[in-house]
Amino acid sequence: MLVHPYLNFQGNTEEAFNFYKSVLGGEFAGVARFRDFKNNSMGIPEKELDKIANIALPLGNGTMLMATDVLEGWPAVKVGTNTFITLDVDNEADAVRIYDGLAAGGRADMPLQRTEWAEKYGTCTDKFGVQWMVMYTGSVVFP
């Protein structure tokens, strides 16, 4: 089973994902706008047709970070504290680079540090309100 984190944004999905791409690297696996659906089968108002219907950024090992723009009439986006995206990276340098990149313009909640479960672990909230856990397990063995 693969798990793909899926995020909703209030009209700034493209900006957020260009930011994530700049920090995490890679190329989008796909970008679909509501305009791309034939004959506007969903009945989307003209002013919203260029919003992102779905975007996917590969994170490795088959996992994708995915998102959409929430349209008028859909439940509003409420950024909360109930979700994090956790990135378990391959080395300390990547942990520092990714953490610093995601925290830029946002908030460093728990600076990268050694913990019982990782050589480097930290949490941050990016400039879009998305919460991230970044860790490099390294040689730490935790039950």
Per-residue pLDDT of 95-118, as tens digits, reads 999 999 999 999 999 999 999 899
**So what's the pLDDT on residue 1?**
64
Q: Is the pLDDT of residue 7 over 70?
A: yes
Secondary structure string (H, E, C) spanning the chain = CCCCCEEEECCCHHHHHHHHHHHHCCCCCEEEEHHHCHHHCCCCCHHHCCCEEEEEEEEECCEEEEEEECCCCCCCCCCCCCCCEEEECCCHHHHHHHHHHHHCCCEEEEEEECCCCCCEEEEEECCCCCEEEEEECCCCCCC
Give the right CATH number for 85-136 from 1.10.238.10, 3.30.720.110, 3.90.1150.10, 3.10.450.50.
3.30.720.110
pTM of the model: 0.83
Mean pLDDT for all residues in the chain: 92
